Amino acid sequence: MTTKLSSLALCALLLGACGGGDDAPAPPAPPPAPTLTLGSATTIRYVAPAAGANAESAAISLPLTLAAPGYYQCDAHADEAGANLDAQMAIFSAGAELARDSDSGEGFDARIARQLPAGTYDVRVWEWQRRPSSIRVTCVPATPPPPTPTALTLGAPMVVTVPPGQGPGSQPELALNITAPGSYQCDASAMGRDAQLAIVQNGAVLQQDSDSGEGVNARLIRELTPGLYQVRVWEWMHRDATLTVTCAPAAAAAAPTATGALSPGAPTTVQVPAGEQGQVFLTMTLPNPHRVQCYAHADGADAQMSILQNGVVLQEDSDSGEGTDAQITRELASGDYQVRVWEWLHRPATITVTCGPV
């Protein structure tokens, strides 16, 4: 009897050893995986990936279900005390990427606005430089931009609404029918924005421009043969914009006034004044055809450069050199050319230009 009572007492003390453990509390359930609800903000924590991995490899995926087709806008904002962070975003459907963006929202926020059918999507977000951050994501119904006109009439300005984002949906194309050979000028301007412009034929970009017009307006002057072309426009930082586009026969261009001459391989330093008209032209004469490389560098500033002949821009560049230096390499026939340099933000700058055969 004593042995039996002792066993019962031991069971009472140990509980679980004799069946009493059934009343122990269960471990807490893991938190639910984050999802996106249309119209509500979801904040996730982005953690930097292992050393050597790219930032997107640690992207957070947020499922989003759309019950009805429509035009939707998704935004991603990264925040951290004392840090200037840059949210990135991409939208996938059934494993296929539909769109991605970096800075189309406010500041460095990512924004994608587009027409989407009903279904389930994967919205992925991350921080551009792999920095730990809290990223707030929202998707809401939005008002689609008005339809873009598709035909451009010579000499008639056309207003084009460009939606934010990167990719073909944010680069409207206007059809331009050229019936007579000649030199044509196309301009694109946007109040408070930086218009970009390209002339395309059969899917190939013939020429594009950023700032050859007044201020940050885009301008192209080019010889065109009869045929159908597309005038493609967009905003430099992929922001929403209202652009005015005009194409017309080009007026006879006066040769720009040169401030000096370039000698092959010899650096030439010029002072560029401040202001939207602040630019310097240098002449360059090629007695024989050459593959030429021109380089423009500005200490503490951002040099821009273009090569012209008879007032027509042949090529323009911003940052193809080291850092923000401009560099152009191309085949040029014998003849007289002009090299135009300016500072990207129209600040006063000291720019050193070197052109020579390569």
Q: What is the pLDDT along the chain (358 residues), one digit of tens a residue?
A: 444 445 545 444 444 444 445 566 777 666 677 889 999 999 999 999 988 889 999 999 999 999 999 999 999 999 876 678 999 999 999 999 888 888 888 888 999 988 899 999 999 999 999 999 999 999 999 988 776 668 999 999 999 998 887 766 788 999 999 999 888 999 999 988 999 999 998 878 888 888 888 878 899 888 899 999 999 999 988 888 999 999 999 886 555 567 889 999 999 999 998 876 678 999 999 999 989 999 999 999 999 999 988 877 888 898 899 999 999 999 999 999 999 998 887 788 999 999 999 9
Identify each DSSP E strand in 18-116 by its residue range: 42-46, 60-66, 70-79, 87-93, 96-101, 110-116
Q: Is the dihedral of CA 130, 131, 133, 136 positive or negative?
A: negative
What DSSP state is assigned to residue 167? S
Summarised one tens digit per residue, pLDDT across range 155-186 is: 999 999 988 877 667 889 999 999 998 889 99
What pLDDT is stored for residue 347 in this prediction? 84
What pLDDT is stored for residue 303 in this prediction? 93
Q: Which domains does the chain have, with CATH numbers?
A: 42-141 (2.60.120.380), 151-249 (2.60.120.380), 260-357 (2.60.120.380)
| CA separation for the pair 135, 50 (Å, rounded) | 19
What DSSP state is assigned to residue 252? P
Max CA separation in the chain (angstroms)? 121
* List of residues 6+ apart from 154 with CB closer than 8 A: 176, 184, 247, 248, 249
Return the residue matching tokens 């990719």.
Answer: 167
User: Which segments of 148-191 does DSSP mark as H helices, in order?
Assistant: none
* Cα dist from 210 to 189, 218, 304, whole Å: 10, 5, 10
What DSSP state is assigned to residue 248? E
Which amino acid, residue 35?
T
- Residues 339/353, Cβ–Cβ less than 8 Å: yes
Q: Which long-range contacts (CB under 8 A, 24 or more apart) does 250-256 make?
A: 250/182, 250/183, 250/184, 250/185, 250/221, 251/185, 253/221, 253/310, 253/311, 253/312, 254/311, 255/310, 255/311, 255/338, 256/281, 256/308, 256/311, 256/338, 256/340
Nearest alpha-carbon partner for 122 in 165, 62, 66: 62
